[in-house]
Amino acid sequence: MTDSTKESKTTIAPDVLVTIARLSALGVPGVSRMAQVTGGVNRLFKRGIHDGVRIETEDNVVVADLYLIFKKDVNIREVGREVQTQVARALQEMVGMEIGSIAIHVEDIDYEEEVSPA
């Protein structure tokens, strides 16, 4: 077999997918930060659980769950859809994987209360 007939393979670490999803989500206006993912024993076996992202892959298809904290006074539906769009686009363009689903979990809203000095 010559070099030109050998098939090459690229392997992507799951943490790379988590990083791409996290940075894409944080880049959307209205997203304040990632939330910690709560859960029982299952959280110990999921990749990216501490980054507010859970990624699963099967047969070159990505399924992502994003746990987010939004800024106050934003349209939750619009921001959620924009996060889905941006994360899907980033994953498809950067690693060429198909997107099964991207679920958005809004865990909280950041209400920054200003405390005036007494």
Mean pLDDT of the chain: 85
Provide mean pLDDT across the span 24-28. 97
**From CA 31, how far away is CA 76, in angstroms rounded?**
10
Q: Which residue has the higher pLDDT, 50 or 41?
A: 50
pLDDT reading at 41 higher than 50:
no
What is the pLDDT confidence band of residue 95, given thresholds at 50, 70 and 90?
A: very high
* Dihedral angle computed from the Cα positions of residues 63, 92, 86 and 55, in that order, rounded to the nearest 10 degrees: 20
- The Cβ of residue 82 has, within 10 Å, a number of other Cβ atoms equal to 18
The pTM of this model reads: 0.79
Q: Which of 60, 55, 52, 61 is nearest to 26 (CA)?
A: 52
Q: Which domains does the chain have, with CATH numbers?
A: 14-38+47-110 (3.30.70.1350)
Burial 19-33 (b: 16+ CB within 10 A, else e): ebbbebbeebebbbe
- Contact by Cβ (8 Å): 30, 71: yes
